Amino acid sequence: MLDLPELKVVKPSDTRWLSHERCVKAVKASYSAIVTALNNIYEQTHAPEALGISKALCRPSTLVAIYLLDYVLPQVAKLSRALQTERIDLTAITPLVDATLNTLDDAMLPAANWVLELMDAKNEIEEVTDITLTTESIATFQGQVAEPFIRMLKANISSRFISQDIVSSFGIFDPKKVPAADSSDFHTYGEDLINVLLAHYGAELPAKTAGGDEYTKEALISCETREEWKTFRSYLSKKPKGNLHLQLKELTTSDMLSEIFPNISTLANICLSIPVSTASVERSFSKMKLIKTRIRNRIGQSQLSYLMKIAMETPETLSSTQLNDIITVWNKKPRRIAV
């Protein structure tokens, strides 16, 4: 009636850890109501489960942990969601990780946002619980629990992005970042990042075949790559300023560019094949389970493929022109159901 969002406690899942963020947020928003409801249930039914959960929620450590997690989990979730996008800008990974780590550092400050929120809710909390919050008790929790937890979380995040300098180096292919050809920076642009990529992927000499007479085409030759980059840098500076993904696609699909810049094209293929996350694969299996249910278990492979493409590739909203085109294609064949 009031068009307010429904407050519902979400059950956290081991396999979908982003659900922990929604669970903590719901518990925090409805904390007083949950405690009151549990106490009422125990008074009416004497259910031991209600009493146990109520006592756990009314511990000062539990309450402070809820407010801490409500601050920390959204920061990590933002990074996770950014990495799950289909066309992520690889050059943005390092700034995103650094920004997340800096935000986590803020949680350890005495006047952190989550501490101020907790003190603002102090009166409401003390009305429904026996908890007495003080600045000293919160500071003790920060030193004994929050700081070790955040340090461990930061170490975990950092360990997952140990190669971020290599991944970010692929940003040299972004046409928007190439300086003008008449600038002083143009003639040295990208050379340090090319060396970073070659230190990881390159070889000073091309690898030989088993016979020892011919060189394999897959070898990324460092000396040739550096020479190709000098020419390709000029090519990039004269191109219309597109985006990184389109430039990489052009390098891998254009026969002419692959012939002129074979090593640069190999680097582009490497970049496009880097699996930033497995989110798209997991989504496809989830969609397949929703489409091919036990009731529809006889659906054919071809039909299943079409339905999965529709479910995964169709945008959330369609324009009137797109809808009319779909209807036109549908009505080209005689149908039992007219649209």
Domain interval for residue 172: 167-249
* Shared-domain flag, residues 55 and 98: yes
- Distance of alpha carbon 62 from alpha carbon 112, whole angstroms: 18
For the cut 90, the answer to whether the pLDDT of residue 150 exceeds it is yes
The rounded mean pLDDT for the chain is 82
- Does 10 map to a domain? no
- Distance of alpha carbon 229 from alpha carbon 178, whole angstroms: 12
The tens digit of pLDDT for each residue in 56-101 reads: 988 888 889 999 999 999 999 888 888 777 667 777 788 888 999 9
* Shared-domain flag, residues 117 and 215: no
Domain count for the chain, please give it: 3
Q: Among 162, 179, 205, give the residue marking a domain's end.
A: 162
* Cβ–Cβ < 8 Å for 266, 273: no
Helix axes 191-201, 222-237, angle to 10 degrees: 140
Helix (H, G, I), strand (E, B) or coil at 283: helix
- Does 339 map to a domain? no
* Shared-domain flag, residues 113 and 40: yes
> What b-and-e string marks burial along 317-333, b requiring 16 or more CB atoms within 10 Å of the CB?
eeeeeeeeeeeeeeeee
* Shared-domain flag, residues 180 and 230: yes
* Shared-domain flag, residues 193 and 239: yes
Name every residue whose Cβ is closer than 8 Å to that of residue 96 and which is 6 or more positions away in sequence.
79, 82, 83
List, in sequence order, every residue forming a beta bridge with 215; answer none if it has no partner: 208
Helix (H, G, I), strand (E, B) or coil at 208: strand
* Shared-domain flag, residues 198 and 288: no
- Does 271 map to a domain? no
* Shared-domain flag, residues 78 and 123: yes
List, in sequence order, every residue forming a beta bridge with 208; answer none if it has no partner: 215
Q: What angle do CA 284, 285, 288 make, to 5 degrees?
A: 85
CA distances, 295 to each of 287, 302, 306, 307, 331 (Å): 15, 18, 18, 16, 28
* Shared-domain flag, residues 216 and 294: no
* Shared-domain flag, residues 33 and 129: yes
Q: Among 229, 249, 269, give the residue marking a domain's end.
A: 249
Name every residue whose Cβ is closer than 8 Å to that of residue 131 and which is 6 or more positions away in sequence.
58, 59, 60, 63, 125
The band of 153, judged by pLDDT with boundaries at 50, 70 and 90, is very high
Written as one letter, the residue type at 110 is P
- Does 262 map to a domain? no
- Does 182 map to a domain? yes
CA 146 to the chain's CA centroid: 24
- 25-34, 75-84, 206-215: which has the minimum mean pLDDT? 206-215
For the cut 90, the answer to whether the pLDDT of residue 151 exceeds it is yes
pLDDT at 217: 46
- Does 269 map to a domain? no
Q: Among 139, 162, 185, give the residue marking a domain's end.
A: 162
For the cut 70, the answer to whether the pLDDT of residue 216 exceeds it is no
- Does 3 map to a domain? no
* Shared-domain flag, residues 180 and 138: no
* Shared-domain flag, residues 23 and 151: yes
